[in-house]
């Protein structure tokens, strides 16, 4: 009897050793230049995927304690986009996930061999949502030629925002775009650039997510450096003096929305 138990335990140990397992290839956090993010993907994921054609990759991004809610998903999806659109990897081999939150922002790259159990997100903290306040959902750039903007598309930037708006039917989105003031070697944008960019984001949300125009307000933020802010606005909320957008502009967004929402 003891002999049979020993044989069973030995067989189980050998089977476990031979079973394929997922392994974390790399992780990265805030990178000053997005090309650094590209090299993490190129140096670790591409050789692994090429060497194991039946494997899959899991890209799990975790927002930090103070990270905007939409950032983790955007980073995960844009990494997947790079592999699919620029390296020709079958999208069915790539899973991009928002893993929740940890103390600091981080993106993990996992290789999952055939028949291996995929990794599960492992958030370490919970940040409660203050439903009495407006939320800066995400911030992204436009108009540059770099890895981030080549890899980001409408779904990466806006699908999460659309889901958040649908989750709160009484809220509305305020899209604030800022044009380039012509500093740090960049040309000054012509008048109307910021408003045009803000409207492009709104039109994507209307066309691809069937959100009514009454729930999507666009604001020309003036000059601030080729950025777009996505605000999730709640009724009956106060306005903090957030440095990313003036209180006056947010009040204008709320005022216009209040008038439109009456008729939707």
Structure confidence by residue, pLDDT tens digits, 158-168: 999 999 999 99
* Look-up of token digits 């439109």: 260
The residues pairing with 48 across neighbouring beta strands, listed in sequence order, are: none
Angstrom distances, CA of residue 110 to CA of 56, 66, 117: 8, 25, 11
Whether residue 232 is contained in a domain is answered as yes
Whether residue 117 is contained in a domain is answered as no
Q: With residue 108 as reference, give the H or E element that holds it.
A: strand 106-112
Same domain (yes/no): 257, 224: yes
Helices (H), the chain: 2-18, 34-40, 46-51, 71-87, 147-151, 154-167, 193-209, 247-261
Distance from C-alpha of 115 to C-alpha of 77, rounded to nearest angstrom: 24
Same domain (yes/no): 176, 58: no
Same domain (yes/no): 101, 150: no
Distance from C-alpha of 217 to C-alpha of 231, rounded to nearest angstrom: 10
Torsion of CA 73, 125, 68, 129, to 10 degrees: 110
Whether residue 217 is contained in a domain is answered as yes
Same domain (yes/no): 142, 73: no
Torsional sign, CA 89, 92, 95, 96: positive
Whether residue 46 is contained in a domain is answered as yes
DSSP state of 125: B
Same domain (yes/no): 232, 148: yes
Whether residue 128 is contained in a domain is answered as no
3-state helix, strand and coil shares in percent for the chain, rounded to the nearest 5: 40, 25, 35
Same domain (yes/no): 76, 181: no
Same domain (yes/no): 168, 216: yes
Structural domains counted in the chain: 2
Nearest to 160 by CA among 135, 197, 123, 143: 135
| DSSP states along 109-127 | EEEE-TTPPPP-----B--
Same domain (yes/no): 253, 147: yes
CATH of the domain at 94: 3.30.1330.60
pLDDT of 253:
64
Nearest to 194 by CA among 180, 213, 214: 180
Domain limits at 232?
A: 135-261
Whether residue 172 is contained in a domain is answered as yes
Which tokens in the block code for residue 66? 């103070």
pLDDT of 238:
63
Same domain (yes/no): 239, 140: yes
DSSP state of 28: E
pLDDT of 252:
59
Whether residue 102 is contained in a domain is answered as yes
Q: What three-state secondary structure class fits 176?
A: strand
Exposed/middle/buried for residue 237 (C-beta within 10 Å: 0-12, 13-18, 19+): middle
- Digitized pLDDT (tens) for each residue of the chain, 264 residues in all: 454 344 333 444 444 456 899 999 999 986 766 778 888 888 888 888 888 889 999 999 999 999 999 999 999 999 999 999 999 999 999 999 999 999 999 999 999 999 999 999 999 999 998 887 899 999 999 988 888 889 999 999 999 999 999 999 999 999 999 998 877 667 889 999 999 999 999 999 999 999 999 999 999 999 888 899 999 999 877 655 444 445 555 565 655 444 444 333
Same domain (yes/no): 68, 152: no
Which tokens in the block code for residue 29? 């956090």
Same domain (yes/no): 162, 247: yes
- Report the DSSP pairing between strands 227-233 and 94-101: unpaired
Same domain (yes/no): 158, 247: yes
């Amino acid at each position: 009897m003891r002999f049979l138990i020993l044989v069973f335990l030995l067989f189980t140990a050998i089977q476990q050793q031979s079973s394929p397992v997922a392994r974390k290839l790399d992780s990265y956090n805030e990178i000053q230049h997005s090309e650094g993010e590209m090299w993490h993907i190129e140096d670790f994921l591409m050789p692994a995927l090429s060497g194991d054609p039946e494997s899959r990759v899991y890209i799990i991004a975790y927002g930090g304690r103070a990270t905007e809610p939409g950032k983790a998903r955007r980073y995960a999806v844009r990494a997947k986009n790079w592999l699919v659109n620029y390296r020709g990897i079958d999208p069915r081999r790539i899973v991009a996930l928002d893993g929740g939150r940890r103390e600091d922002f981080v993106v993990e790259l996992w290789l999952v061999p055939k028949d291996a159990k995929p990794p599960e997100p492992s958030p370490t903290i919970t940040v409660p949502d203050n439903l009495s306040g407006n939320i800066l959902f995400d911030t992204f750039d436009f108009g540059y030629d770099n890895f981030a903007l080549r890899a980001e598309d409408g779904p990466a930037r806006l699908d999460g925002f659309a889901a958040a708006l649908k989750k709160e039917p009484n809220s509305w989105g305020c899209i604030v775009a800022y044009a380039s003031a012509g500093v740090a070697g960049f040309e000054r944008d012509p008048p109307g650039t910021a408003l045009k960019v803000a409207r492009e984001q709104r039109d994507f949300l209307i066309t691809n997510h069937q959100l009514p125009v009454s729930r999507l307000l666009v604001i020309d933020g003036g000059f601030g450096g080729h950025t777009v802010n996505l605000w999730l606005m709640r009724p009956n909320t106060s306005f903090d003096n957030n440095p990313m957008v003036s209180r006056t502009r947010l009040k204008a967004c709320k005022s216009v929305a209040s008038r439109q929402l009456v008729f939707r």
